[in-house]
Amino acid sequence: MSERSVIHFIKPCRDPVEDHRILTPQYAMGMLVQGHIVKIGLDNCTLQRMEELPANPSRAAAEAVGLLPLVEFLERAPGVALTAMGTHEMPENRVAKAKRAYENFCATFWPSHRDDVEASHREFDEASTDRWVEFTELGDGARCTYGLAYVALLQMQNIRRTYPSLSPEEKFEAYLHSMAGMLDLVSAFELEIAKYAFWDASHVEIDRLPGRVRRRRADIKENFTKQQSTVSKCKRAAFNGAMDLYWLSGANLLEDLGVPIKTDVGEFALDNWVGTNDLKLYRICRDLHSTPHEGSKTMRFACSRESALGTLRYWRNVDRMSKNVMLYRNASGYRSLDSTLLSNVDAAVKHLERELRKVLNE
């Protein structure tokens, strides 16, 4: 089977030297002995694969849609939890189908499973005619949760469309300072994506780079920074990218908060993973991920920076700018955003959509 179609498992937070942590039944057993249950959050791509399965799927059917590794893991691994988190990325009229497909998969290949007693389910209107999720119509909690990444990706679209005459370094500088100004919050993960978004290299320069760098650049463009032609497409692309980023950051946050899972034999801490059939996201996370620091799963960011990039003026400049600003913000201390983040997100989204309408069709 083509590697592109197979589900992959991402551990969003791991040591800087780890390429990818490998999820095995033996790993799950080791975590269980330590009082942790492996929890896999399945994204939109994987839920769509489940929708392709028939009512009573065989192992061959699961293999055909790239889900056999998940089937085999569930058959052999003890102490596992699954969640269909990808439904939060879907418009309401698609949720019911995805939910049925997920339950069909679990009933067939994981018949011993039981719902967590505190499990929550997304509310939806199956009669809705909306084709896409509209960020501004989400609830306060969702806008606050997804808002940082959504604003960041929308601003990358806006800067390239609104200020085409700026140099790549100037575009990155505009992004960096505008995020600090609009939200008083700068995420290192989105900052790294912005460096790729504004990197304007010739075909000759790209061809001289190591294959892993070329692939990473192409994957980031496809998943997060591909330039869109209308305001609606900009918004959809920003939301889809924001959800990818949330699957990663949200998994870390749950571990930081120590959110447990209740079972018949007691409470267990969670060891969070993301399951996805999006090979691009898997490859991106090989080189961009969180790393533990001072007891936190979310405070430090690790990324690959090959020597070939260090020889390029653009990369030297943007790395220097981002380092200086982040060190300054850290030394200055951070203000609480509890009472301002949501209003800042809403104001930023309104501003960016207005700016994009000036230069793009609806």
pLDDT-based confidence at 79, cuts 50/70/90?
confident
Q: By the 8 A CB rule, do 68 and 275 touch?
A: no
Split into its structural domains, the chain has a count of: 2
Q: Using one digit for the tens of pLDDT, what is the confidence trace for 205-224? A: 999 999 999 999 999 999 99
Q: Give the range of the structural domain holding residue 99, as residue numbers without chain letter.
A: 3-133+251-280
Q: Is residue 291 part of a domain?
A: no
Q: What is the DSSP letter of 21?
A: P
Q: Using one digit for the tens of pLDDT, what is the confidence trace for 11-51? A: 998 888 888 899 999 999 999 999 999 999 999 999 999 99
Q: Using one digit for the tens of pLDDT, what is the confidence trace for 118-139? A: 555 556 666 676 778 999 999 9
Q: By the 8 A CB rule, do 243 and 222 touch?
A: no
Taking CA atoms, 12 is separated from 34, 83, 334, in Å, by 20, 16, 25
Q: Is residue 257 part of a domain?
A: yes
Say whether pLDDT at 117 is over 70: no
Instruction: Detail the DSSP E strand segments found in the chain.
Output: 8-10, 36-42, 80-83, 261-263, 266-276, 288-293, 296-303
**pLDDT above 70: percentage of residues in the chain:** 94
pTM for this structure?
Answer: 0.91
74 and 57 housed in the same domain: yes
201 and 339 housed in the same domain: yes
Lowest mean pLDDT among 94-98, 271-275, 344-348: 94-98
Contacts of 185 (CB under 8 A, 6+ apart): 148, 179, 337, 341, 344
221 and 115 housed in the same domain: no
Q: Determine phi and psi for 117, rounding to 5 degrees.
A: -65, -20
194 and 313 housed in the same domain: yes
Helix residue ranges per DSSP H, 163-228: 168-183, 188-197, 203-207, 211-220
113 and 192 housed in the same domain: no
52 and 196 housed in the same domain: no
Mean pLDDT of the chain: 91
Residue 342 CA, distance from chain mean position: 20
User: What is d(CA 257, CA 267) in angstroms, rounded to the nearest whole number?
Assistant: 15
User: What is d(CA 37, CA 268) in angstroms, rounded to the nearest whole number?
Assistant: 6
Single-letter residue type at 53:
L
Best CA proximity match to 16, nearest among 344, 340, 247, 293: 293
Q: Is residue 186 part of a domain?
A: yes
Best CA proximity match to 255, nearest among 268, 267, 271: 271
User: What is d(CA 313, CA 351) in angstroms, rounded to the nearest whole number?
Assistant: 32
